[in-house]
Chain A
Amino acid sequence: MTETRPRSLLYLDNVCVSFDGFKALNSLSLVIEPGELRAIIGPNGAGKTTMMDIITGKTRPDSGEVFFEDSVDLTKKDEADIARLGIGRKFQKPTVFESHTVWDNLELALNRKRGVFSTLFYTLTEEDKARIEEILATVRLGHRSHELAGSLSHGQKQWLEIGMLLAQEPKLLLVDEPVAGMTDAETVETAILLKEIAKTRSVVVVEHDMGFIRDLGVKVTCLAEGSVLAEGSIDYVSNDPKVIENYLGR
């Protein structure tokens, strides 16, 4: 068993999920290596978001294996456990705490004890303060740290959410459509940001924007109808006849 699995950060093998008979994932297999930045493309309904739901414990697979760092079976864990293991997730629609300040958003996301009593008696340490300031600089929100997250622009909310993922100090980041609704300038900045983040951890990006994926310049996986259609460089994948027929051609 162990020999057949390569050294991987995330390992999905033969994962199937169906909702009321509709096969959202159809024997999907995927391996993410430590430190890898991977882009995932595919038409609507290809199972991209369902795949993220499986990895983060929101949905349970009907069959198949999902392992984190070769040994942890993610199908047995719930969302909070998986987040604590070091998997962070950014939603398609930016999801931040709108009635909290940017600073508080990051403070809540910090990778600290998350129990009821540890949070009741938590006080902000110098170390935590420095960490939050560092993240604020990374996501370029330092000048707005005391404003409510609800007052940020769409693009800034996306960045704040990425910042919250960083504060979680995950080993793997799952990022769902980070540049949807962003201006061209913001899109370019986001690509730079994600590449910077990928230097120290693995990132999986789901995106529709082919220009953005070209900017990232990484290995691309194309999903369709719940399984992998093609995998390789962006040029290889975008020239694949099956991909053109299923996705790009339409």
Chain B
Amino acid sequence: MITQFLLRGFDRKIVAVLFVLLAIGVLVPASNLLLSPENPLHVPTYAMSLFGKYLCYALLALALDLVWGYCGILSLGHGAFFALGGYAMGMYLMRQIGSRGVYGDPVLPDFMVFLNWKELPWFWHGFDMFWFAMLMVVVVPGLLAFVFGWFAFRSRVNGVYLSIITQAMTYALLLAFFRNDMGFGGNNGLTDFKDILGFSIQADGTRAALFAATALFLALCLAIASGIVSSKFGKVLVGVRDAESRVRFLGYRVEHIKLFTFVVSAMMAGIAGALFVPQVGIINPGEFGPGNSIEVVIWTAVGGRGTLIGPIIGAVLVNFGKSVFTGAFPEIWLFALGGLFIAVTLFLPRGIVGTIQHRFKARQAMKAARDAESGIDSDTKIQPAE
């Protein structure tokens, strides 16, 4: 049943992208570890970490595309799920420091010693175990999405109202995580990580493995998302986007459909955050910033929403542009980003991948029409045995 579900999603484009992702996941770490730094094909560690960060953003954009591009829910709070996944990973990494912290406390992280706390708060228990922390990476964002979605979708909060409350959600979390009493390190967040699963987090080998893991999880989530949107459920999802009341009067429970998609998407965002934190070495409340969530929307729009592949390309391109731009002209990056969003909305409303797909389909349709005119039976050509 599961294999059939996944296989259905494997159309040619998706398979090609999966293949590219897996190839990147193998070749980039291999070139970093095996080739000498003088070799022109050698990928330096800083470049690998930077690109790994882009892949995390790509996974976040993919998660957003599932709810926005297919279900029509414009979430302006996906950064919150990303940050929660990141915090779960950060808590594990903090517990791994052990007595190597500045204050040398074997159990309490430095910031707790600094705040004069005597024992570990209850919600920090268990995070010394990798499997538990990884479970929390998907459970915490998933649970928040479930509770939030349960109320919002059942009360039929739609469109711009929903967008505003998702934005409020992430802002509320930002304020909460800034507080020292919350027990997540206040505005400094969690940092100074030493190792993960016993391997030094600074070592080239660990960084290469993290990069490979990111590419692998991106490929895995793409396969799952593709399976979802190619199933009958995916068709219902698009139906909800285009004509919600029709779906309802056909007897589908729209709130369940939205809730399922929202939770799956939040979990993917959580995984993206968890992969992000060890590669950048810090997680702080800034990740909850409302601006971050809006940037994700821009990446998705630039790449092409409702295409799954588009958001991945959009996230990598825009973030690459951001790295270049903020290096060269740091003052005008935000203007450039805003300008990009306006330009895409006006001139490229389908995004990069969406536009290419649309042109391709239009050309196919024209060719079919020409064939039909010249007497070839186009029906049998386009639809080989149903």
Q: Which residues of B contact A109 (CB under 8 A)?
A: 250
Instruction: Decide: B235 and A80 in contact? CB cutoff 8 A.
Output: no
Instruction: Decide: A146 and B383 in contact? CB cutoff 8 A.
Output: yes
Residues B240-259 near A (CB distance < 8 A): 242-243, 245-254, 256-257
| Closest chain A residue, CB of each to CB of B245 | A95
Instruction: Decide: A80 and B232 in contact? CB cutoff 8 A.
Output: no
Q: Which of A58, A88, A96, A120 contacts B5 (CB 8 A)?
A: A120
Q: Which of B1, B5, B232, B248 contacts A108 (CB 8 A)?
A: B232
Q: Which residues of A contact B254 (CB under 8 A)?
A: 80
Q: Which residues of B contact A99 (CB under 8 A)?
A: 238, 242
Q: Which residues of A contact B232 (CB under 8 A)?
A: 107-108, 119-120, 122
Q: Which of A89, A122, A143 contacts B249 (CB 8 A)?
A: A89
Residues A84-110 near B (CB distance < 8 A): 84, 88-89, 91, 95-100, 104, 107-109
Is A121 in contact with chain B by the CB < 8 A criterion?
yes
If A97-B238, A100-B239, A129-B386 touch, does A164 touch B250 (CB 8 Å cutoff)?
yes
Interface size of B by CB at 8 A reads 30
* Interface range, A side: 20 to 34
Is B236 in contact with chain A by the CB < 8 A criterion?
yes
User: Using an 8 Å CB-CB cutoff, how does the interface string of A112-155 with B read, 1 for contact, 0 for none?
Assistant: 00111001111100000100000000000001001000000000
Residues A2-39 near B (CB distance < 8 A): none
Q: Which residues of B contact A168 (CB under 8 A)?
A: 250-251
Instruction: Decide: A123 and B4 in contact? CB cutoff 8 A.
Output: yes
Nearest chain B CB to A173 CB, angstrom units: 11
- A146–B247 Cα distance when bound, in Å, is 20
Q: Which residues of B contact A83 (CB under 8 A)?
A: 248-251
Q: 20 more A-B contacts (CB under 8 A) besides A97-B246, A100-B235, A121-B4?
A: A56-B249, A80-B252, A80-B253, A83-B249, A83-B250, A83-B251, A95-B243, A95-B245, A96-B243, A96-B246, A97-B235, A97-B243, A104-B235, A108-B232, A108-B235, A108-B236, A114-B250, A114-B252, A119-B231, A164-B250
A residues engaging B (CB < 8 A)?
56, 58, 79-80, 83-84, 88-89, 91, 95-100, 104, 107-109, 111, 114-116, 119-123, 129, 143, 146, 164, 168
Shortest Cβ-Cβ A-B pairs, 4 listed: A83-B251, A119-B233, A122-B232, A120-B233
